[in-house]
Amino acid sequence: MQQKIVRFYDIAFSQKKQKELQAKALLNSINGYLINELGIILPEVESHLKGRIFSVSASSVVSRRLDPDYYKLSYQKIISQVEKSKYPLAELGDVTSLLASGKTPASQDYSEIPNISF
């Protein structure tokens, strides 16, 4: 009887590992699939010094974002590709009624299980 339990456990554990590998492979492939479906071509990341130095006019920063990463050329190229997507762009507030602020929601707002942290 004990041998049967051990064999059953080994089979179940092996199946679990296989499912985890399949899930990991799917998770790893989702970014490429999504980018392809949206018709976005990501620019190559420039690692040389010239590709990391940039300037922006003061008028483009006034009343906008102040973080420098937003103004990087590579980020601007990504935005350009997203804007060329075959799907129309929309602001999150226009497509959801749940977006009220940038704060982390309370656990009861997204889970039926009590005491689950975000």
pLDDT, tens digit (0-9, with 9 covering 90-100), for 10-51: 999 999 999 999 999 988 888 888 888 888 877 777 777 776
Is the predicted pLDDT of residue 118 greater than 70, yes or no? no
* pLDDT category of residue 99 using cuts at 50, 70 and 90: low
pLDDT at position 72 is 78
pLDDT at position 2 is 87
Write down the mean pLDDT value for the chain: 79
| Other Cβ atoms within 10 Å of 1 Cβ, number | 5
* Closest residue by Cα to residue 42 from 81, 70, 87: 81
Is the predicted pLDDT of residue 7 greater than 70, yes or no? yes
pTM: 0.46
CA distance 40 to 83: 9
The DSSP call for residue 113 is S
Give the list of residues 6+ apart from residue 19 with CB closer than 8 angstroms, or none.
none
Is the predicted pLDDT of residue 6 greater than 80, yes or no? yes
Is the predicted pLDDT of residue 78 greater than 60, yes or no? yes
Amino acid at 98: L
pLDDT, tens digit (0-9, with 9 covering 90-100), for 51-62: 667 777 777 776
pLDDT at position 82 is 85
Contact 42, 81 (CB under 8 A): yes
Identify which has the larger pLDDT, 107 or 4.
Answer: 4
CA distance 108 to 34: 30
CA torsion 29-79-100-112 (nearest 10°) is 0
